[in-house]
């Protein structure tokens, strides 16, 4: 919570001022030794916390710190975050149109400070940017994720790391878990295991999953490994098949399905040529049934009982307003 500072009086030229510094402002916010001169009316309009603070009388009102005769409020936040918050209120259309892209750093500030200072507009806008471009609870979405062609799940956000560690950590921290299972699955399908376990360097920064997300990764990885084991058990020729080639090609299918393609990849067209019609039909049905079982266990990695609960958990809809060109790939 913001706190009123003790007695002191200085001028604006004596402090480390940052933009926005409004010469006609009537309140100064301070964070990490940086100062911002703004208007009480602006803060009160958008923030319930600031409005309540300004409305409450303070017994030592006459003794608080002043800069250019304006009272100073010290905030326990990063100066860069406070600057993003204030510039968003002053220097741009508020809120941004839903089709305009936003850096991950802005989304993070909007969510964290939006919640801390009760700024509903910030929270609503950040959640709009975090909407998944594809239906996050559909196995069809997962089926088009491949290591070479990962989906752009969050096209309204820029400057995130390649495997969306920042986004997943932010979603987990803020309790916005609806897009997390599909984002984590894409991470598992496309990222080297060492990156997930140890973190990795990208864009001059080090990125790692939070402890909560690492635990979710382990649980999801366990679901997928069990699925691979079950595939090895059920992939066998049809009971009516007498062709030697079908029996021999089961090993090839098992090796390719277990070790090459992502877990929820669609049946590959080339596999039809390996088997007779009876085996193809039988193998497809067995594989699809086992795939659906595994898919329905995925939400448990994030504490959900089912995909229905995931859908109900959030204020997220698919990002229908963002123009997306889907490229359907038969992996």
**pLDDT tens across 305-325, in order?**
998 888 877 655 444 433 333
Burial of 49 (0-12, 13-18, 19+ CB in 10 A): middle
Phi-psi map region of 187: left, alpha, beta (phi>0 left; psi -120 to 50 alpha): alpha
pLDDT digit string, tens, across residues 144-174: 777 666 778 888 898 999 999 999 999 999 8
The secondary element (H helix, E strand) that includes residue 35 is: strand 34-38
How many CA atoms lie less than 13 Å away from 193 in the CB half-sphere?
2
d(CA 161, CA 142): 20
Q: For residue range 25-76, what is the model confidence (pLDDT) as tens digits?
A: 999 999 999 999 999 999 999 999 999 988 876 655 545 788 888 899 999 9
89 closest CA partner among 116, 103, 112, 110 = 110
Task: Tell me the angle at which helices 165-173 and 180-190 cross, rounded to the nearest 10 degrees.
Answer: 150
Distance between CA atoms of residues 95 and 43, nearest Å: 15
CA 74 vs CA 35, 65, 317: distances in Å: 9, 10, 37
pLDDT value at position 148?
A: 67
Q: What average pLDDT score do residues 249-278 get?
A: 80
pTM for the structure as a whole: 0.79
């Amino acid at each position: 919570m913001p706190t009123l500072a003790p007695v002191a009086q200085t001028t604006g030229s004596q402090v480390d001022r940052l933009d926005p510094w409004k010469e006609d402002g009537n309140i100064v916010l301070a964070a990490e030794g940086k100062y911002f001169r703004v208007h009480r009316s602006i803060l009160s309009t958008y923030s319930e916390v600031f409005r309540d603070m300004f409305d409450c009388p303070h017994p030592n009102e006459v003794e608080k710190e002043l800069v250019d005769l304006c009272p100073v409020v010290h905030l326990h936040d990063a100066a860069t975050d406070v600057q993003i918050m204030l510039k968003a209120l002053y220097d741009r259309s508020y809120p941004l149109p839903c089709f305009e892209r936003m850096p991950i750093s802005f989304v993070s500030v909007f969510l964290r400070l939006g919640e801390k200072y009760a700024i509903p507009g910030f929270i609503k806008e950040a959640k709009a940017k975090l909407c998944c471009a594809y239906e996050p609870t559909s196995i069809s979405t997962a089926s088009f994720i491949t290591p070479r062609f990962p989906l752009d799940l969050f096209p309204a956000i820029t400057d995130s790391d390649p495997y969306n560690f920042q986004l997943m950590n932010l979603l987990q921290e803020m309790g916005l878990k609806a897009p997390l299972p599909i984002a984590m699955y894409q991470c598992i399908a496309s990222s080297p295991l060492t990156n997930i376990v140890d973190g990795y360097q990208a864009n001059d920064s080090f990125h790692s999953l939070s402890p909560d997300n690492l635990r979710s990764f382990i649980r999801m990885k366990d679901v997928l490994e069990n699925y691979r084991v079950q595939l090895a058990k059920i992939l066998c020729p049809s009971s009516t098949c007498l062709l030697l080639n079908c029996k021999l090609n089961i090993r090839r299918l098992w090796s390719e399905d277990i070790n090459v393609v992502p877990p929820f990849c669609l049946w590959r067209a080339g596999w039809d040529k390996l088997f007779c019609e009876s085996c193809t039909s039988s193998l497809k049905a067995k594989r699809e049934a086992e795939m659906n079982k595994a898919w329905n266990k995925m939400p448990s990695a994030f504490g959900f009982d089912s995909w229905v609960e995931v859908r109900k958990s959030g204020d997220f809809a698919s990002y229908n307003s963002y123009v997306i060109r889907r490229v359907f790939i038969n992996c």
